[in-house]
A and B are shown apart, each in its own frame.
Chain A
């Protein structure tokens, strides 16, 4: 039933996990396994720790898990397999026991009531095996087939294709209810609701789009704590002849080699850069990020406006917490007191440690609600050419964003390219009218060039250590040029950006986003 590679790797993981509790120093076992469903090789003990930390936080805090494989059709022998994992530590799978398929008689119609299925299996296994199952996972045969087919690609595809295949697998499984869990973890609900927002948009296409935008890089995202210390090495390799690919390595960070400060950050981050031979190291406080993600997943989708404000505030609070929640090497220039002082002489106050996390979300949401409205339909057109008004020559990516009561409720991929034909290509008026007739009144059209997105990503993420007044001014200047960015009809904040000198606009903007009291 299972792909041989998948089965073999999974048994290796179980075998290793079962050894951990009986070996004095499991780190010395030095075994390698693959992260299930991915091509990523990982130290088995690190994977053990990842499961021990992440599974209880995001999936289930309870012990003992039951996997049930069922048919997609309403047939007599509906259950294809029942697998019991007794877990000493929540989430750490150590042993598997195959139980009879007819342990509990269920049919397809019972799948609507997961609570009943759960109770039946729980009481039956408690009675026969004296094990209390606290979580069940139901996988439909088609889901299993998809997993097997995905595994087939792992050995002979690039990482890029495997990640795309993984995202497709996840999207199809969630959309078609091929995988269900009870009690349902927040993360699954969060993923399902988010995927439901997307209409005709594949996660793999979003990944491909983002992959195309980002420059080549080689970074390490490191996190260290007494419980779990590891680094994720991400590398994008571009070549002129072959298609670019992404390398992912998850590596243990030996705690003995690094000291942690009182905030749980590496004190010698430069050492990590040299050891792992990367361009940049981002050191993140694991507890902070896990807490943020837990809170994020617990929310309903679409987000309530107030919740979104709060999450945005927390995110910004995280950003401003340099040396507290995160740090990086090379250290961003803007954090140098001398450079900030010199910029301040020009009236530019770029102290990201004083980011007004408490005020920015209110102001941005206030402006958006006022000038775009609580209900809106925004047509987002992403172009690739450097030339102005390139809608004629290119095949732009067109998305329709639907907003209700200030929250994003749907993102739809527009395939009706024929709407562009027969209308005045130069006129955004006519494009707006054509789309409005098809999809309801389009509040605004937003045209963004890929080069602008690349510039923004470079300035604020990949070259964050070089962020300066000049790099931000460059982005602002690009925003003013119609070949990179257009809003139709123009909303007042954008009109102001176009009318005002970029330097003075930035000065005013920084007064809003940076706290007043600096030194």
Chain B
């Protein structure tokens, strides 16, 4: 574990002002000034949220980032690197094209690091807790690491903490949690996915601890997040929490949102692993009063059924956090970007998790995730009963013979239901899921998704759809 802070780690500042720049500057001033964190000739790496080719608050507030870069320059930093891995394997270069960051940062005296370009930013293999993690060498070799974290709601951890921000110091591939079922343990009951995820996040965090952590909640995305959806709402809190101990900063951030330590699994695990201060009484609060600034915000839904989508019926069984998170993203995407498609589709059922209830109809059934796929393999909805058509010559013959057709029983034949969209994976990949859904419904029935898919294809996602088949589609790869 690499520590790079000289500052008293018990100090946490809560600051409030009328602009993000002033609020960040005040916070650092309260903590003793930037020179307590950054020394002359230091190489500094600023880890930011760089999630997707999207606007604020999906990505960091550039005004906040600017304030921080100027402070680092004032402290005499030799080099200032800025970076982070985008979600879903999107390239940093794609984000740069959409946000135009490289030039802007260069003019400010910092450098945007394309962490996914192995030639420019090589990796070091770090063994930690029996895992081998590919960690960017540039970050390891930097003298100081700063986390500038945009706080928004999060479906798994209530809000996007700085510890989660640290996680995107490694690639999406390295972030992937493999489903490992321990003997005698119920994967779903124990929510092993979330436990493994938390363990992985803390492993990555513990490789190199930041010297300064800033939880920027000057604007806070509530309702649905951290991406922008129809139910998202941006509120101005004018607050920033900063300090040198990420765990303490996250704890105070959660406290401001009226969440205590015991309600945060990730901070409890951090306490077990002694990764930071989790005892509120040990934290030396500076600036604004914690009690006077507590916020009432709308967190994201706890149950998928609470996301109401036109013409879509959800049937959920037992579900792991991984599938919950991806289903949450998929459902919110549908609600936001598929208004017209959902009207044209008329009705669709989505089965999620282990042993979901039967769908209401046998048409347009989305089976989401490995658990749903395996536990519904022999379900009734997989087959449909169709009336077998009589041989026309025989029917005419019967009529000539004046046989009474009413006495005949119709012949019923069982066929495989092809109106099923299978989305395998634990959890399924969001972009592949969208591709599969589009292949199934087609351009005419899903014009909004088709247009959106064309937008996504510009980012280089096209390959993911190669193995799709029309009708009865699956995104097995």
Give the interface of A toward B (CB within 8 A): 356, 358-359, 362-363, 366-367, 369-376, 404-406, 429-430, 432-433, 436, 440-441, 443, 488-493, 495-496, 499-500, 508-509, 511-512, 516
Task: Please state if B100 and A370 are interface contacts (CB–CB under 8 Å).
Answer: no
Give the Cβ gap from A439 to chain B, nearest Cβ, in Å: 10
From A366, A440, A491, A512, give the contact of B63 (CB < 8 A): A440
> On chain B, which size bracket covers the interface?
35 or more
Can you list 21 residue pairs at the A/B interface with Cβ under 8 Å? A358-B339, A358-B343, A359-B339, A359-B448, A363-B337, A363-B340, A370-B228, A373-B54, A373-B57, A373-B228, A374-B219, A374-B228, A375-B61, A376-B56, A429-B104, A433-B103, A433-B107, A443-B55, A492-B53, A492-B98, A512-B447
**Residue from B227, B450, B455 having most chain A Cβ neighbours under 10 A:** B455
Residues of A within 8 A of B367 (CB): none
Residues of A within 8 A of B447 (CB): 508, 511-512
Query: In the assembly, what is the distance between CA of A512 and CA of B343, in Å?
Result: 12
Known: A495-B458, A499-B458, A516-B444. 20 other contacts (CB 8 A): A363-B448, A369-B228, A369-B232, A370-B337, A373-B54, A373-B57, A373-B58, A373-B228, A374-B55, A374-B219, A375-B219, A406-B234, A429-B100, A430-B103, A441-B66, A443-B55, A489-B98, A490-B98, A492-B98, A493-B455
Query: In the assembly, what is the distance between CA of A430 and CA of B459, in Å?
Result: 25
Task: Please state if B458 and A496 are interface contacts (CB–CB under 8 Å).
Answer: yes
**Residue from A369, A404, A430, A500 having most chain B Cβ neighbours under 10 A:** A369
* Given A366-B230, A433-B107, A511-B444, residue A372 in contact with residue B53 (CB < 8 A): no
Task: Please state if B339 and A508 are interface contacts (CB–CB under 8 Å).
Answer: no
Task: Please state if A436 and B104 are interface contacts (CB–CB under 8 Å).
Answer: yes
From B234, B337, B444, B448, give the contact of A374 (CB < 8 A): B234
Give the interface of B toward A (CB within 8 A): 53-58, 61-63, 66, 97-100, 103-104, 107, 219, 221, 227-228, 230, 232-236, 336-337, 339-340, 343-344, 443-444, 447-448, 450-451, 454-455, 458-459
Query: In the assembly, what is the distance between CA of A443 and CA of B235, in Å?
Result: 19
Query: In the assembly, what is the distance between CA of A405 and CA of B225, in Å?
Result: 14
From B55, B340, B344, give the contact of A376 (CB < 8 A): B55
* Given A373-B54, A373-B58, A404-B234, residue A489 in contact with residue B100 (CB < 8 A): yes
Residues of B within 8 A of A511 (CB): 443-444, 447, 450-451
From B55, B100, B221, B444, give the contact of A488 (CB < 8 A): B100
Task: Please state if B443 and A366 are interface contacts (CB–CB under 8 Å).
Answer: no
Query: In the assembly, what is the distance between CA of A495 and CA of B459, in Å?
Result: 11
Residues of A within 8 A of B444 (CB): 511, 516
User: Chain B: which residue is nearest A495 at the CB level?
Assistant: B458
Task: Please state if A496 and B454 are interface contacts (CB–CB under 8 Å).
Answer: yes
Query: In the assembly, what is the distance between CA of A490 and CA of B221, in Å?
Result: 25
Query: In the assembly, what is the distance between CA of A374 and CA of B58, in Å?
Result: 9
Give the Cβ gap from B145 to chain A, nearest Cβ, in Å: 23
Give the Cβ gap from B63 to chain A, nearest Cβ, in Å: 5
User: Chain B: which residue is nearest A508 at the CB level?
Assistant: B451
User: Chain B: which residue is nearest A428 at the CB level?
Assistant: B100
Query: In the assembly, what is the distance between CA of A367 and CA of B456, in Å?
Result: 12
From B66, B97, B236, B337, give the contact of A489 (CB < 8 A): B97
Query: In the assembly, what is the distance between CA of A509 and CA of B57, in Å?
Result: 28
Residues of B within 8 A of A496 (CB): 454-455, 458
Residues of A within 8 A of B61 (CB): 375, 441
